[in-house]
Structure 1
Amino acid sequence: MGTSSTRESGVGVTEVELDVTNVAHGGVFVARHDGRVVFVGDTLPGERVRARITDDGHKSFWRAETVEVLEAAPERRPHVWSEASVDRAPSERAGGAEFGHIRLEHQRELKRQVLADALQRMAGVETDVTVEAVAPPAGATGVAEADGTCWRTRVRLQVADDGSIGPYASRTHRVVDVGSLPLATVRIGEVAPLTRRFPGAAHVDVIAPSADSARVLVVERDGKGRPKPARHGVIHETVAGRTFRLETGGFWQVHARAAETLYHAVQDMIDEGDFDPRASNLDLYGGVGLLAVAVGDRFGETVRITTVESDARATEHATENLAEWIGANALTDRVDRYLQHVTREAGAAERRSFEAATVVLDPPRAGAGRAVVDRLAAVGPRQLVYVACDPVALARDVGLLREHGYELRELRAFDLFPNTHHLEAVARLTR
């Protein structure tokens, strides 16, 4: 499979015809040109496209952008966001919905392939996991459920030099003018100031918390042009009948049903037979305490659990959100530094308590990494429940944990980011 032609465009940019054969991590797809791998966006396996080479600076691969679909795959559909469609010039295509041209059920199959392939290659683990659909928020239309729209409760809009706002074009820092935000909830759409200008601002965040009114946050720049830290007050989110406090600009899951989905998934994933409520249970990268609360709600108010989070304000909120659990504690610390302290300072009885523990960890997109995995394995908890938003980072860390004797026992994946390449996975590992 390869190109049928190669030509120079009027501005000296190479354009090629490509047969697309596979999906790759990161929202791009795989083709070959004269034996060289080409990663190309805005297409899908089974298509033939005309593409423009955008990066030929690597020996082993090139990058390209689809200019025209010559032979469409049966899974292609009209893009859910017209301003991201392949019909527009690549520099004018809104980023953030890179799978929006693919039928929803096939998106999930492609995500499954990426997750399964990463686990096989990087961890030596075979899995038959599926990517589970998640219902749109209450009030969304039937069309939203069918096409995967109306789920984002948080949108960041970038600011152009003239003060206009919009998303970046894919893999660029060019701001695209848009008139719609179809992945966002109806409440976001009602308040998003798409026609206004914000000269000098760093970015504009639009958020719609479940227990508060929607709002617009304008983040200004400091004297060096960097985003200026600001306190925007407190908002509230409701999950499983509980209300959580957090900073207005603080981290929270973006899908309207994501927090509740992960709350229940973590509860279900913990093996009750391996759970000791009196052990030194941990919630690492704990944010404002959502998953620690999930553990407490399942196993009772006397559960011992410590949430560890590097953001001091998030930890303050976690302390309040966990107030009813007498065995709960919230610490401000980096996870690697906390685990290092545990391995160095814990006495024999404390070490036994950690070895009997269940550890929930929800690291950022880059994953936990070797330093944290090595220190976590040295602590030696009985079971790990790993929440991951990046399949490759998860696969790498599962492989690292296997080096320490931990094996993947159970895995679920959720389509919490429809029309993008992202997914969320929850894994349980034990020695």
Structure 2
Amino acid sequence: MSVGDEFEVRLGAPGHGGFCVGRHEGRVVFVRHGLPGELVRARVTEDRGGSFARADAVEIVEAAAGRVPAGCPVSGPGGAGCCDYTHAAPALQRQLKASVVAEQLRRIARIEREITVEPLGPPDETGGWRTRVRLVVDDAGRAGVHGYRSSAVVPDLRCPQPVAGAVDSLEQERFTPGADLVVAVDSTGNRHVVELAPPAPVPRRRRAEQSRRDAAARRSAVHAPRASRLLHGDGTAVQLVGERRWELPATAFWQAHRDAPGFYSDRVAEWSGLEPGQRAWDLYSGAGVFAARLAERVGEGGAVHAVESASGAVTAGQAALADLPWVDLEVLRVEQWFAARPPRPDVVVLDPPRTGAGRDVIAPLTAAGPARIVHIGCDPAAFARDLGLYREAGYELTELRAVDAFPGTHHVECLALLER
């Protein structure tokens, strides 16, 4: 196929990545902006000569039940990659995500399980949920988002995801070309905008090496420091979970959906089953939101050991949890931390980056022999792979919750309880 070719195709099941699978002249075609069962006119956007091509549905010939007018004007055919499913009613979006999670578990982890994706906010929520936004700046200094599978910048901030006021006035402002913008609206409603300087150029002969280092850094959740400039707010985001308060840099990691920190920490505390005097590990702990709840359960006679590679998050966590001296937050990569790990835990909680934990983390984790593991993942394929590794090590999946923490997109958060 050639880019720009158009043809009619009947769409099948949803695939992992926000598309539906179709077939044309013996080739598999991944089609965005369609729904299962629809007959669409597709336009080829990418074909590298492999087993599949990519396309956009540019005309809906026969619409499926559940189709609604697209709610994101930025991510349509040829646009950005911010929203995949706003042309589907919220209940249908969750059904599509459930299908993808079930298929990944079945194919990768050999786990057969009926999946229901539950809403995190209101059941009909499609926008106004994202409290953190990462934007890019084009050559003209305009803020925008990346095009789908592209480094090109779409200077259009009308995506419905951000909470009210998050991107106000940014379309009229001009920024440093090539920079990134971090926008954070904290629990008090204050908005912070930080400009991160463009990354230093890498000589051509070093790009492959740099690419390998970047991949390793992503796997280890390393946050490379970049020069920054505060544009709005004071740069210190105040975040509240229950009655506990965190003050952390606006650029530090925090869950994007406004309701996610409370929901996840409630499940972690419930599933941990910890009792006073027991010991827990919190890996990829961020600012210690989960560590705080675990500490409440184990009490002064217990211990919570937390590890995180981002020093700013750990500093904020140490301040927020100063009244819990039995919590130890350490700045280190998780893989390195295992070399001098604390005594055997009763429970391990981990919320790794999108690429998952992988064998290098799961092997030493399971060798420590915790009775229970609570694993959180936002990529169904990586999540399924990690669950398969736990099963190899003698752990079984006993609870699973799939949550629509990213309405309008193909992303879904999964929480698993595994027991030895």
TM-score when normalising by structure 2 = 0.88
Structure 1 position 70, deviation (Å):
1.6
Where does 1:139-150 land on structure 2 (aligned, <5 Å)?
146-150=124-128
Shift in Å, 1:95:
2.5
Partner of 1:318: 317
What is the rounded CA distance, in whole Å, between the counterparts of 2:201 and 2:301 in structure 1?
49
Equivalent position of 2:54 in the other structure: 63
1:323-402 map, 5 Å: 323-342=322-341, 350=343, 354=344, 356-402=345-391
Q: Which residue of 2 aligns with 1:21?
A: 12
The whole-number CA distance in structure 2 between the counterparts of 1:21 and 1:359 is 39
Which has the larger displacement, 17-26 or 173-182? 173-182
The residue aligned with 1:118 is: 104
- Structure 2 residue 173 is matched with structure 1 residue 196: yes
- Opposite residue 130 of structure 1, the aligned amino acid is T
Q: Secondary structure at the match of 1:74?
A: coil
8 Å CA contact 2:283–2:306 kept in 1: the answer is yes
Amino acid at match of 1:33: H
Distance 1:168 1:338 in 2: 35
The aligned residue for residue 210 of structure 2 is none
- The whole-number CA distance in structure 2 between the counterparts of 1:339 and 1:409 is 26
Q: For residue 241 of structure 1, what is the aligned residue in structure 2?
A: 243
Give the whole-Å Cα distance in 2 for the aligned partners of 1:41 and 1:412.
26
Query: Which of 236, 256, 260 is equivalent to 1:258?
Result: 260
1:108 is paired with a residue whose SS is: helix
- 1:27-426 aligned at under 5 Å gives the runs 27-85=18-76, 90-91=77-78, 93-135=79-121, 146-178=124-156, 180-189=158-167, 191-211=168-188, 213-221=190-198, 224=201, 228-230=226-228, 233-270=235-272, 272=273, 275-342=274-341, 350=343, 354=344, 356-426=345-415
**Deviation digits for residues 199-243 of structure 1 (CA, Å, limit 9, x no counterpart):** 425122221011351122122226538993338543210111211
With 207-216 and 104-113 compared, the bigger mean Cα shift is at 207-216
SS across alignment from 2:113 = coil
Residue type of the partner of 1:245?
Answer: E
Query: Which consecutive unaligned segments of at least 5 residues does structure 2 have?
Result: 203-223
| Secondary structure of the corresponding residue to residue 186 of structure 1 | coil
Structure 2 distance, partners of 1:103, 1:121, is 27
Work out the CA distance in 2 between the residues paired with 1:35 and 1:47: 19
Asked if the contact 2:306/2:329 (under 8 Å) is kept, the reply is yes
> Quick one: distance in 1 between partners of 2:140 and 2:124?
37
TM-superposed CA distance for 1:178, in Å, is 2.1
Residue aligned with 1:57, SS: coil
Decide whether the 8 Å contact of 2:30 with 2:55 is kept in 1.
yes
Tell me the amino acid that sits aligned with residue 252 of structure 1.
W
Give the RMSD, CA atoms, in angstroms.
Answer: 2.2
Cα deviation per residue 1:173-207 (whole Å; 9 max; x = unaligned)? 22223252321111314x35112221425122221
- C-alpha change, 1:212 and 1:186, in structure 2 (3 Å) is closer
Relative to structure 2, which stretch is displaced further, 173-182 or 28-37?
173-182
Once the two structures are TM-superposed, the CA of residue 277 in structure 1 deviates from its matched residue by: 4.2
- Provide the identity percentage: 38
CA shift, 1:168, in A, is 1.8
Deviation string, structure 1 residues 81-119 (Cα, Å, up to 9, x no partner): 23334xxxx33x232111111110010011111111111
Could you tell me whether the CA contact under 8 Å between 1:192 and 1:206 is conserved in 2?
Answer: no
| 2:206 match | none
Distance 2:225 2:399 in 1: 41
Q: Distance in 2 between matches of 1:429 and 1:67?
A: 44
Structure-1 separation of matches of 2:199 and 2:151: 19
Structure 1: give runs of 5+ residues left out of the alignment.
Answer: 1-5, 137-144
Task: Check conservation: 1:276, 1:357, Cα contact below 8 A.
Answer: no
Give the secondary structure class of the aligned counterpart of 1:377: helix
Cα 1:428–1:58 shift into 2, 3 Å: farther
Distance in 1 (CA, whole Å) between partners of 2:285 and 2:65 is: 42
Contact 1:302 1:325 in 2 (8 A): no
Contact 1:302 1:326 in 2 (8 A): no
SS in structure 1 of the partner of residue 140 of structure 2: coil
Q: Offset of 1:69 from its aligned partner? A: 1.7
- CA drift of 1:299 comes to 4.2
Change (3 A) 1:177 1:238: same
Q: Is the 8 A contact 1:158 1:165 kept in 2?
A: yes
Find the aligned partners of 2:124 and 2:106 in 1 and give their Cα distance: 31
Partner Cα separation in structure 2 for residue 73 and residue 162 of structure 1: 41
Q: 1:201 to 1:61 in 2, by over 3 A?
A: closer
Asked if the contact 2:279/2:298 (under 8 Å) is kept, the reply is no
CA 1:148–1:212 in 2, change beyond 3 Å: closer, same or farther? closer
Contact 2:277 2:298 in 1 (8 A): no
SS in 2 for 1:39: strand
Deviation per residue, 1:289-323 (Å, 9 max, x gap): 01111212344344310111111221122212222
